[in-house]
Amino acid sequence: MSIPLSWYLILAAALFCLGLYGVFSRKNAIAILLGIELMLNAVNINLVAFWRYLNPTQMAGQAFAVIVFAVAAAEVAVGLALIISVYRRRKTVVADEIDLMRW
Amino acid sequence: MTAEQIIFLLTGALVLGSAIMVVTVRNLLHAALWLVASLFGVAVLYAILQANFLAVVQVVVYIGAIAILFIFAVMLTRRELMEKGRQTRPNWWIPALLGLLLLTGLVLLILNIPGINRTAAALPVGLDTVQALGTALVSPDAYVLPFEVASVLMLAALVGAVYVATVDKK
Protein backbone atom coordinates (compact mmCIF):
# COMPACT_ATOMS: atom_id res chain seq x y z
CA MET A 1 0.00 0.00 0.00
CA SER A 2 2.41 2.65 -1.20
CA ILE A 3 -0.23 5.14 -2.37
CA PRO A 4 -0.57 8.29 -0.21
CA LEU A 5 -4.04 8.96 1.17
CA SER A 6 -4.05 12.41 -0.46
CA TRP A 7 -4.12 10.86 -3.96
CA TYR A 8 -7.47 9.24 -3.26
CA LEU A 9 -8.89 12.43 -1.74
CA ILE A 10 -7.78 14.57 -4.69
CA LEU A 11 -9.17 12.05 -7.21
CA ALA A 12 -12.49 12.00 -5.33
CA ALA A 13 -12.56 15.82 -5.19
CA ALA A 14 -12.00 16.02 -8.96
CA LEU A 15 -14.73 13.43 -9.61
CA PHE A 16 -17.13 15.33 -7.32
CA CYS A 17 -16.46 18.63 -9.13
CA LEU A 18 -17.04 16.98 -12.52
CA GLY A 19 -20.37 15.62 -11.26
CA LEU A 20 -21.29 19.07 -9.93
CA TYR A 21 -20.49 20.59 -13.33
CA GLY A 22 -22.66 17.95 -15.02
CA VAL A 23 -25.60 18.62 -12.68
CA PHE A 24 -25.52 22.38 -13.22
CA SER A 25 -24.69 22.55 -16.92
CA ARG A 26 -26.88 19.84 -18.48
CA LYS A 27 -30.39 20.47 -19.79
CA ASN A 28 -31.60 16.89 -19.92
CA ALA A 29 -32.97 15.58 -16.60
CA ILE A 30 -31.41 12.14 -17.20
CA ALA A 31 -27.98 13.75 -17.68
CA ILE A 32 -28.47 15.57 -14.35
CA LEU A 33 -28.99 12.17 -12.67
CA LEU A 34 -25.78 10.93 -14.34
CA GLY A 35 -23.93 13.82 -12.66
CA ILE A 36 -25.43 12.88 -9.29
CA GLU A 37 -24.15 9.32 -9.75
CA LEU A 38 -20.61 10.67 -10.28
CA MET A 39 -20.86 12.72 -7.07
CA LEU A 40 -22.09 9.71 -5.04
CA ASN A 41 -19.18 7.65 -6.34
CA ALA A 42 -16.71 10.35 -5.30
CA VAL A 43 -18.13 10.23 -1.78
CA ASN A 44 -17.83 6.44 -1.74
CA ILE A 45 -14.16 6.56 -2.79
CA ASN A 46 -13.48 8.86 0.18
CA LEU A 47 -15.37 6.61 2.62
CA VAL A 48 -13.53 3.46 1.54
CA ALA A 49 -10.13 5.22 1.48
CA PHE A 50 -10.64 6.50 5.04
CA TRP A 51 -11.72 3.02 6.17
CA ARG A 52 -8.54 1.49 4.71
CA TYR A 53 -6.10 4.15 5.89
CA LEU A 54 -7.39 5.02 9.36
CA ASN A 55 -8.73 1.88 11.05
CA PRO A 56 -9.45 -1.21 8.90
CA THR A 57 -10.78 -3.24 11.84
CA GLN A 58 -13.62 -0.74 12.34
CA MET A 59 -16.06 -1.37 9.46
CA ALA A 60 -17.86 1.99 9.65
CA GLY A 61 -16.52 3.27 6.31
CA GLN A 62 -17.54 0.19 4.34
CA ALA A 63 -20.93 -0.03 6.09
CA PHE A 64 -21.64 3.59 5.21
CA ALA A 65 -20.56 2.92 1.60
CA VAL A 66 -23.08 0.05 1.44
CA ILE A 67 -25.82 2.41 2.66
CA VAL A 68 -24.78 4.91 -0.03
CA PHE A 69 -25.16 2.13 -2.64
CA ALA A 70 -28.70 1.45 -1.42
CA VAL A 71 -29.61 5.15 -1.42
CA ALA A 72 -28.15 5.57 -4.93
CA ALA A 73 -30.19 2.63 -6.25
CA ALA A 74 -33.38 3.99 -4.66
CA GLU A 75 -32.68 7.49 -5.97
CA VAL A 76 -32.12 6.28 -9.55
CA ALA A 77 -35.25 4.09 -9.52
CA VAL A 78 -37.53 6.88 -8.28
CA GLY A 79 -35.79 9.59 -10.32
CA LEU A 80 -36.03 7.74 -13.61
CA ALA A 81 -39.65 6.74 -12.88
CA LEU A 82 -40.46 10.43 -12.31
CA ILE A 83 -38.69 11.44 -15.53
CA ILE A 84 -40.51 8.79 -17.58
CA SER A 85 -43.85 9.78 -16.01
CA VAL A 86 -43.24 13.47 -16.76
CA TYR A 87 -42.15 12.58 -20.29
CA ARG A 88 -45.37 10.66 -20.83
CA ARG A 89 -47.53 13.62 -19.77
CA ARG A 90 -45.54 16.61 -21.07
CA LYS A 91 -43.41 15.06 -23.86
CA THR A 92 -40.22 16.62 -22.53
CA VAL A 93 -37.21 15.65 -20.44
CA VAL A 94 -35.67 19.15 -20.40
CA ALA A 95 -35.40 20.21 -16.76
CA ASP A 96 -36.19 23.87 -17.56
CA GLU A 97 -39.50 22.98 -19.20
CA ILE A 98 -40.73 20.98 -16.20
CA ASP A 99 -41.79 24.13 -14.34
CA LEU A 100 -45.21 23.11 -13.00
CA MET A 101 -44.10 23.83 -9.43
CA ARG A 102 -42.32 27.12 -10.21
CA TRP A 103 -43.83 29.76 -7.97
CA MET B 1 7.31 4.81 -8.33
CA THR B 2 5.92 1.41 -7.51
CA ALA B 3 3.64 -0.77 -9.65
CA GLU B 4 0.73 -0.01 -7.33
CA GLN B 5 1.11 3.73 -7.87
CA ILE B 6 1.24 3.28 -11.65
CA ILE B 7 -1.95 1.17 -11.54
CA PHE B 8 -3.61 3.86 -9.41
CA LEU B 9 -2.63 6.63 -11.81
CA LEU B 10 -3.88 4.68 -14.85
CA THR B 11 -7.18 3.91 -13.07
CA GLY B 12 -7.54 7.51 -11.95
CA ALA B 13 -7.02 8.69 -15.53
CA LEU B 14 -9.70 6.23 -16.68
CA VAL B 15 -12.16 7.40 -14.01
CA LEU B 16 -11.63 11.12 -14.61
CA GLY B 17 -11.42 10.83 -18.41
CA SER B 18 -14.67 8.87 -18.58
CA ALA B 19 -16.31 11.29 -16.13
CA ILE B 20 -15.35 14.21 -18.40
CA MET B 21 -16.96 12.37 -21.32
CA VAL B 22 -20.10 11.73 -19.19
CA VAL B 23 -20.64 15.44 -18.57
CA THR B 24 -19.66 16.72 -22.01
CA VAL B 25 -20.66 14.20 -24.70
CA ARG B 26 -23.77 15.11 -26.73
CA ASN B 27 -25.36 11.71 -27.18
CA LEU B 28 -26.87 10.63 -23.85
CA LEU B 29 -26.59 6.94 -24.70
CA HIS B 30 -22.84 7.42 -25.07
CA ALA B 31 -22.81 9.36 -21.79
CA ALA B 32 -24.42 6.39 -20.03
CA LEU B 33 -21.82 4.03 -21.55
CA TRP B 34 -18.98 6.35 -20.43
CA LEU B 35 -20.54 6.25 -16.96
CA VAL B 36 -20.10 2.45 -17.06
CA ALA B 37 -16.37 2.93 -17.81
CA SER B 38 -16.03 5.43 -14.96
CA LEU B 39 -17.84 3.16 -12.48
CA PHE B 40 -15.64 0.25 -13.53
CA GLY B 41 -12.57 2.37 -12.72
CA VAL B 42 -14.04 3.06 -9.28
CA ALA B 43 -14.47 -0.71 -8.80
CA VAL B 44 -10.76 -1.14 -9.58
CA LEU B 45 -9.98 1.51 -6.94
CA TYR B 46 -12.01 -0.48 -4.38
CA ALA B 47 -9.99 -3.57 -5.31
CA ILE B 48 -6.73 -1.62 -4.80
CA LEU B 49 -8.08 -0.54 -1.39
CA GLN B 50 -8.74 -4.23 -0.55
CA ALA B 51 -12.49 -3.64 -0.16
CA ASN B 52 -13.26 -6.85 -2.05
CA PHE B 53 -16.98 -6.99 -1.34
CA LEU B 54 -17.55 -3.38 -2.42
CA ALA B 55 -15.60 -3.95 -5.65
CA VAL B 56 -17.96 -6.79 -6.58
CA VAL B 57 -21.06 -4.88 -5.45
CA GLN B 58 -19.92 -1.89 -7.52
CA VAL B 59 -19.86 -4.04 -10.66
CA VAL B 60 -23.11 -5.88 -9.88
CA VAL B 61 -25.26 -3.02 -8.58
CA TYR B 62 -23.85 0.05 -10.32
CA ILE B 63 -22.85 -1.34 -13.69
CA GLY B 64 -25.33 -4.21 -13.78
CA ALA B 65 -28.43 -2.41 -12.53
CA ILE B 66 -28.11 1.38 -12.34
CA ALA B 67 -26.28 1.92 -15.64
CA ILE B 68 -28.74 -0.38 -17.45
CA LEU B 69 -31.65 1.57 -15.91
CA PHE B 70 -30.10 4.75 -17.32
CA ILE B 71 -29.79 3.22 -20.78
CA PHE B 72 -33.45 2.12 -20.63
CA ALA B 73 -34.56 5.61 -19.57
CA VAL B 74 -32.56 7.24 -22.37
CA MET B 75 -34.13 4.90 -24.91
CA LEU B 76 -37.67 5.39 -23.55
CA THR B 77 -37.57 9.19 -23.79
CA ARG B 78 -37.62 11.33 -26.87
CA ARG B 79 -34.61 11.33 -29.12
CA GLU B 80 -35.10 14.79 -30.61
CA LEU B 81 -33.23 16.64 -27.88
CA MET B 82 -30.42 14.16 -28.29
CA GLU B 83 -30.15 14.77 -32.00
CA LYS B 84 -30.63 18.50 -32.38
CA GLY B 85 -29.92 21.56 -30.31
CA ARG B 86 -27.53 22.18 -27.46
CA GLN B 87 -27.19 19.71 -24.61
CA THR B 88 -25.78 22.27 -22.18
CA ARG B 89 -27.23 25.49 -20.83
CA PRO B 90 -26.12 28.72 -22.56
CA ASN B 91 -24.35 29.87 -19.37
CA TRP B 92 -22.43 26.61 -18.91
CA TRP B 93 -19.26 28.50 -17.93
CA ILE B 94 -20.70 29.46 -14.52
CA PRO B 95 -20.87 25.82 -13.28
CA ALA B 96 -17.46 25.18 -14.90
CA LEU B 97 -16.00 28.10 -12.93
CA LEU B 98 -17.78 26.93 -9.78
CA GLY B 99 -16.39 23.40 -10.21
CA LEU B 100 -12.84 24.67 -10.77
CA LEU B 101 -13.06 26.96 -7.72
CA LEU B 102 -14.39 24.13 -5.56
CA LEU B 103 -11.65 21.80 -6.86
CA THR B 104 -8.81 24.24 -6.10
CA GLY B 105 -10.29 24.96 -2.67
CA LEU B 106 -10.64 21.26 -1.84
CA VAL B 107 -7.12 20.42 -3.09
CA LEU B 108 -5.57 23.23 -1.03
CA LEU B 109 -7.57 22.09 2.00
CA ILE B 110 -6.59 18.42 1.53
CA LEU B 111 -2.87 19.20 1.11
CA ASN B 112 -2.89 21.19 4.37
CA ILE B 113 -4.21 18.35 6.53
CA PRO B 114 -1.32 17.09 8.72
CA GLY B 115 -0.29 13.50 7.97
CA ILE B 116 -2.24 13.39 4.72
CA ASN B 117 0.60 11.72 2.81
CA ARG B 118 0.57 8.66 5.07
CA THR B 119 0.48 5.27 3.42
CA ALA B 120 -1.71 2.47 4.70
CA ALA B 121 -0.44 -0.17 7.07
CA ALA B 122 -0.96 -3.78 6.00
CA LEU B 123 -4.29 -5.28 6.99
CA PRO B 124 -4.13 -7.11 10.36
CA VAL B 125 -3.35 -10.80 9.89
CA GLY B 126 -6.48 -12.95 9.92
CA LEU B 127 -8.89 -10.07 9.25
CA ASP B 128 -11.52 -11.23 6.73
CA THR B 129 -13.00 -7.93 5.57
CA VAL B 130 -16.05 -9.54 3.94
CA GLN B 131 -16.89 -11.45 7.11
CA ALA B 132 -16.23 -8.40 9.29
CA LEU B 133 -18.53 -6.26 7.10
CA GLY B 134 -21.28 -8.89 7.20
CA THR B 135 -21.06 -9.18 10.97
CA ALA B 136 -21.04 -5.40 11.39
CA LEU B 137 -24.15 -4.99 9.21
CA VAL B 138 -26.33 -7.35 11.29
CA SER B 139 -24.81 -6.93 14.74
CA PRO B 140 -27.05 -5.02 17.21
CA ASP B 141 -24.10 -3.05 18.64
CA ALA B 142 -22.97 -2.01 15.15
CA TYR B 143 -25.02 -1.06 12.09
CA VAL B 144 -28.18 -3.18 12.14
CA LEU B 145 -30.43 -0.12 12.46
CA PRO B 146 -29.07 1.78 9.41
CA PHE B 147 -29.16 -1.55 7.52
CA GLU B 148 -32.85 -2.08 8.29
CA VAL B 149 -33.68 1.56 7.54
CA ALA B 150 -31.96 1.11 4.16
CA SER B 151 -34.14 -1.94 3.43
CA VAL B 152 -37.30 0.03 4.29
CA LEU B 153 -36.03 2.81 2.00
CA MET B 154 -35.54 0.29 -0.83
CA LEU B 155 -39.09 -1.02 -0.36
CA ALA B 156 -40.50 2.52 -0.35
CA ALA B 157 -38.51 3.35 -3.49
CA LEU B 158 -39.73 0.17 -5.20
CA VAL B 159 -43.41 0.88 -4.45
CA GLY B 160 -42.97 4.57 -5.26
CA ALA B 161 -41.27 3.91 -8.60
CA VAL B 162 -43.98 1.44 -9.65
CA TYR B 163 -46.72 3.87 -8.61
CA VAL B 164 -45.18 6.90 -10.33
CA ALA B 165 -44.37 5.16 -13.60
CA THR B 166 -47.72 3.34 -13.98
CA VAL B 167 -49.91 4.58 -16.84
CA ASP B 168 -53.21 6.13 -15.70
CA LYS B 169 -56.16 4.15 -17.04
CA LYS B 170 -58.62 7.01 -17.29
Give residue B82's pLDDT: 57
Give residue A4's pLDDT: 86
Q: Do B22 and A7 lie within an 8 Å CB cutoff?
A: no
ipTM exceeding cut-off 0.85 for this assembly: yes
Give residue A47's pLDDT: 93
Give residue A54's pLDDT: 86
Fold for the domain defined by A5-94:
Helix Hairpins (1.10.287)
Give residue B133's pLDDT: 87
Give residue B43's pLDDT: 94
Residue B32 to residues A64, A75, B103, B142, B145: CA-CA distances in angstroms? 26, 16, 24, 36, 34
Burial class (CB in 10 A: 0-12, 13-18, 19+), B159: exposed
Domain regions of chain A by residue span: 5-94
Q: Identify the three-state secondary structure at position B128.
A: coil
pLDDT tens digits, chain B, 170 residues: what are they? 788 889 999 999 999 999 999 998 888 888 999 999 999 999 999 999 888 899 999 999 888 888 898 998 888 886 665 556 677 777 888 888 999 999 999 999 988 888 777 777 777 777 888 888 888 888 888 889 988 999 999 999 999 999 988 877 66
Options 1.10.3720.10, 3.40.50.970, 1.20.120.1200, 3.30.2040.10; which CATH number does B1-84 get? 1.20.120.1200
Give residue A55's pLDDT: 82
Going by the DSSP 8-state scheme, the letter that residue B27 receives in this structure is: -
Q: Looking at per-residue confidence, does B118 or A22 come out higher?
A: A22
Q: Do A20 and B120 lie within an 8 Å CB cutoff?
A: no
pLDDT of A42 higher than 90 = yes
Which residues of chain B from 45 to 104 reach within 8 Å of chain A, CB to CB?
A: 45-46, 48-51, 53-54, 57-58, 61-62, 65-66, 69-70, 72-74, 76-78, 81-82, 86-89, 92, 94-96, 98-100, 102-103
Q: Identify the three-state secondary structure at position B88.
A: strand
Look at residues B6, B129, B151 and name the one whose alpha carbon lies nearest to residue A60: B129
Q: What is the pTM of this model?
A: 0.90
**Is the four-CA dihedral A30, A36, A42, A48 of positive or negative sign?**
negative
Mean pLDDT score, A5-21? 92
Best of A3, A9, A91 to substitute, by most chain B Cβ atoms within 10 angstroms, is A3
For residues B78 and A91, the answer to whether their CB atoms sit within 8 Å is yes
Give residue A10's pLDDT: 92
Least confident of A29-38, A42-51, B113-122: B113-122
For residues A79 and A13, the answer to whether their CB atoms sit within 8 Å is no
